[in-house]
Amino acid sequence: MSHSSVLLQMENLSVTYFGPPDVVAVHGVTLDVKRGEILGLAGESGCGKTTLIGALTRLLPDNGEVTHGRIEFDGVDWLGLNEREVDQWRWTRVSLVSQSAMNSLNPVISIGEQITDAIFAHEPRTPKADGWDRARSLLRMVEVDPSHVHSYAHELSGGMRQRAMIAMALALKPDLVIMDEPTTALDVVVQAQIIHEIRSLQERLRFSVIFVTHDMSLLLSIADRIAIMYAGEVVEVGTRSILNHEASHPYTRGLIQSFPSVFHQRTRAGIPGAPPSMVNPPSGCRFHGRCEERMAVCSVYAPEDRDLDGIGHRVRCHLFGDSGITDRQPLAGRGEGSGKSC
Amino acid sequence: MLESEQQSRTVALRAEALDKVFQVSGSARVTRGLHAVNHVSLTVGAGSVLGVVGESGSGKSTLIRLIAHLIPMTGGDLWLREIPVPRRLTRSALIRYRRRVQMIFQDPFSALNPYYPIQYQLERPLKNFRLVSGKGEMRDAVAKSLEEVGLAPAADYLMKRPHELSGGQRQRVVIARALIAQPEVILADEPTSMLDVSIRMSVLNVLERLQQDLGLSYIFVTHDLASARYLADHLLVMYAGEGVEGGQTADVVDEAAHPYTRLLLSAVPEPTREVPIGKPAVAGEPPDLAQLPTGCFFHPRCPQAMARCREEHPLPRTVKNEHWVACHLYG
């Protein structure tokens, strides 16, 4: 059913790791992924982005559990599916490209065997030769010489390995590919090649991508929309151009300021302090301890999501909050927001 | 004579044609030479920052390990304040050299001993280099170094062990430990790449402030052109173990001459550029350092390669002033 433009919808999602101590690693995340878009998910280590992916792929560790909220995948209650159903959806509907291809590829099985393994598992009636032909054409698609179907991971360069991982993720034409820092282990030049590859494949095959990284400058170059995570929450989400020109949450602005530019010499400050411990998250707004614009209210009440432009630029910050709590007016030039707190 | 005296005031460290060949065992028990660093020359001005940029495997980390005398070089010469540094140092000469040339490592999690409190780790250089006499002086020096890197009040940190500090604080301790020896040159190997992005800038800013306040010289090794641009006043671009372009930062970035430098610059994600990253002008990846190409090491990937590039290795040529490039396009 490709009627709705939304492929994946997370509603008020919380994930807890049961301890002791219990840690709420993802807290009240509402986020959607539209068909055919690249959604960037940015955040520092420990902000909960890996946990969120764990929930989306149903690959949370044993002590991790979705304790609140729901995930709807193409209209289906994703968390309600049983293990067998989830297995059928893996590769065919959702696939994952992880950060370190070296650790994800099996070192003692050839690349081709790993690609065909997924094909034969899901389509057991595929003739053997056809499966291998598909593996070759998948490699060709990501611009790896098809003769490498018989190569082992260690015989490929870092960039080629990551391409092979992408080929594998696309083997069964999934609707959603989750990419967890797919280029962090690579050099900028190889990174640019892979990013270009992902973009052109995605434009051709129209799958959706969740692209996870801590590199804001990379996301601002490739994502259609970007969600910013901090301490387990999505604090801002908006289109690439909105975040590039009108980033609103102080954390987002600080994060963008944390990247020096090659082409402009200017002083950059970064963000004071360090991300909080998730065992005892701060009261009120979780960013208040590091925020240079904090108000009295920030340490007491947790801010709610606010849609600033009525079309999805959402911010969780008292600066744009309910006027009943704070005396600060929204920034000049901004609408009052639609009032819906989605 | 006069000239060299003047130079020793303006040049902190100079290296000429540094070489490092690692012997690696290949198949059938044949050892091959892996040329990690090939004939690299560099000059670090007194009180200035040289940024060394390149992809992983370009030899940049090996280069500063050679300069730090952590691994022996297979060729080349080194001068500190224009005094030659012998290739093999006696133990006492090595200690004297290490006092003057300190290193900041990439990973603050493994660069500090997890067993000891911060105070102990900062006292070690003072004791080893015999820089203080008496407990009071030692205490003062430790406190001062912590405060210099922004860990104030020092008393809050002295008795902490590394695991009680955040990554950014740990890296500041590593910087304080390098500073406390009162070095002239600091070799920093990707000092911010293991840190969370939001705290990288504050560490870069600490390095910059210290350099200005104390008149230190740095060699700052990074794969991130943007942070090199931020901190360094001179750049050295490395490819496959050799320097391919160098000069004042603004010249190298704004008027990049070498096709490889231009490739690097085009690949850097830059939000203000508005157009998404395009397809890089070249395919392929850096060469195997044990089987370097003939001629220019970059020619297999170079969009402007000529017949000559396959045969003849290019030598550095001046573009203008201090800006130089090793490429046949320039004569």
Q: Which domain holds residue A154?
A: 102-173
Contact residues, chain B, for A249 at CB < 8 Å: none
Percent of chain A at pLDDT > 90 equals 38
- Chain B: residues touching A (Cβ < 8 Å): 55-56, 166-169, 196-202, 204-205, 223, 225-227, 229-230, 250, 253, 263-273, 276-280, 282-283, 285-286
> Rounded to a whole number, what is the distance in Å from the CA of A167 to chain B's nearest CA?
18
CB-nearest partner of B197 from A192, A214, A220: A214
Q: Do A260 and B227 touch (CB under 8 A)?
A: yes
Pair A87, A108 in one domain: no
Q: Do A217 and B279 touch (CB under 8 A)?
A: no
CB-nearest partner of A218 from B56, B263, B269: B269
Pair A323, A229 in one domain: yes
Q: Do B201 and A191 touch (CB under 8 A)?
A: no
The per-residue pLDDT for range A171-192, each reduced to its tens digit, is 888 999 999 888 877 778 888 8
Pair A164, A187 in one domain: no
If you average pLDDT over residues B157-186, what whole number do you get?
90
> Phi, psi at residue A2, to the nearest 5°?
-100, 35
The per-residue pLDDT for range B67-95, each reduced to its tens digit, is 999 999 999 999 999 999 999 899 999 99
Contact residues, chain A, for B277 at CB < 8 Å: 192, 195-196, 221-222
> Which residue from B176, B177, B207 is spatially nearest to B191, judged by alpha carbons?
B207
Q: Does A193 touch chain B (CB under 8 A)?
A: yes
Give the pair of three-digit tokens for residue A66: 């979705």
Pair A72, A118 in one domain: no
Name the H helices within B223-330: 225-231, 249-254, 259-267, 307-311
If you average pLDDT over residues B304-317, what whole number do you get?
92
Pair A328, A183 in one domain: yes
Q: Is B135 exposed, middle or buried (0-12, 13-18, 19+ CB in 10 A)?
A: exposed
Predicted pLDDT at B1: 45
- Domain end point (choices A151, A173, A195): A173
> Which residue from B116, B85, B112, B82 is spatially nearest to B98, judged by alpha carbons?
B85
Contact pairs from chain A to chain B, CB under 8 Å: 134
Look up the CATH number of the domain holding residue A295.
3.40.50.300
Which residue of A142, A261, A266, A291 to mutate against B (max B Cβ within 10 Å)?
A261
What CA–CA distance (Å, rounded) separates A70 from A83?
Answer: 17
Q: Do B285 and A270 touch (CB under 8 A)?
A: no
Sheet of B31-45, strand order: B31-45, B11-25, B75-80, B83-85
Q: Kindly report which listed range (A32-41, A47-56, A315-324, B220-229) carries the lowest average pLDDT score.
A: A315-324
Pair A209, A283 in one domain: yes
Contact residues, chain A, for B272 at CB < 8 Å: 261, 263-264
Name the H helices within chain A: 49-56, 83-89, 101-104, 111-122, 128-141, 158-169, 188-205, 216-222, 240-246, 250-257
Contact residues, chain B, for A254 at CB < 8 Å: 198
> Phi, psi at residue A80, to the nearest 5°?
-85, -10
If you average pLDDT over residues A276-280, what whole number do you get?
83
Whether the per-residue pLDDT at B7 is higher than 70: the answer is: no
Q: Which residues numbered 285-304 in A keep a CB inside 8 Å of some CB on B?
A: 290
More confident residue, B250 or B6: B250
If you average pLDDT over residues A141-160, what whole number do you get?
86
Q: Do A262 and B265 touch (CB under 8 A)?
A: yes
> Which contiguous run of DSSP H or E holds residue B219?
strand B217-222
Predicted pLDDT at A323: 44
What CA–CA distance (Å, rounded) separates A162 from B47?
Answer: 42
Pair A132, A63 in one domain: no
Pair A7, A113 in one domain: no
Site of tokens 């301790």 = B173
**Alpha-carbon distance values, B316 to A267, B61, B243, B299 (Å):** 33, 22, 9, 16
Give the pair of three-digit tokens for residue B41: 């020359």
Site of tokens 């947790």 = A302
More confident residue, B96 or B266: B96
Site of tokens 């209210």 = A297
CA A21 to chain centre: 26
More confident residue, B5 or A49: A49
- Name which CATH class applies to B46-72+88-239: alpha beta
**A320 Cβ neighbours under 8 A, 6+ residues apart:** A248, A306, A308, A330, A331, A334, A337
Number of domains observed in the structure of chain A:
2
Pair A196, A248 in one domain: yes
Q: Do B202 and A274 touch (CB under 8 A)?
A: no
What CA–CA distance (Å, rounded) separates A110 from A329?
Answer: 61
Q: Do B285 and A269 touch (CB under 8 A)?
A: no
CB-nearest partner of A189 from B55, B229, B278: B55
Q: What is the DSSP letter of B150?
A: T
Whether the per-residue pLDDT at B276 is higher than 90: the answer is: no
CB-nearest partner of A189 from B227, B250, B267: B267
Mean pLDDT of chain A: 85
Whether the per-residue pLDDT at B289 is higher than 70: the answer is: yes
More confident residue, A157 or B9: A157
**B60 Cβ neighbours under 8 A, 6+ residues apart:** B52, B53, B54, B221, B223, B238
Pair A31, A157 in one domain: no
The per-residue pLDDT for range B227-253, each reduced to its tens digit, is 899 899 999 999 999 999 999 999 999
Predicted pLDDT at B152: 80
Q: How crowded is residue A337: how many other Cβ atoms within 10 Å of its Cβ?
A: 18
Whether the per-residue pLDDT at A279 is higher than 50: the answer is: yes
Contact residues, chain B, for A143 at CB < 8 Å: 283
Give the pair of three-digit tokens for residue B229: 């641009």
- Domain end point (choices A173, A200, A222): A173
Contact residues, chain A, for B56 at CB < 8 Å: 187
Q: Residues B313, B295: contact at Cβ < 8 Å?
A: yes
Pair A301, A272 in one domain: yes
Percent of chain A at pLDDT > 70 equals 91
Q: Where are the domains of chain B?
A: 46-72+88-239
The residues that bridge with B185 in the sheet, in sequence order, are B101, B217
Angle between helices A111-122 and A158-169 (to 10 degrees): 10
Model confidence at A335, pLDDT cuts 50, 70, 90, reads very low
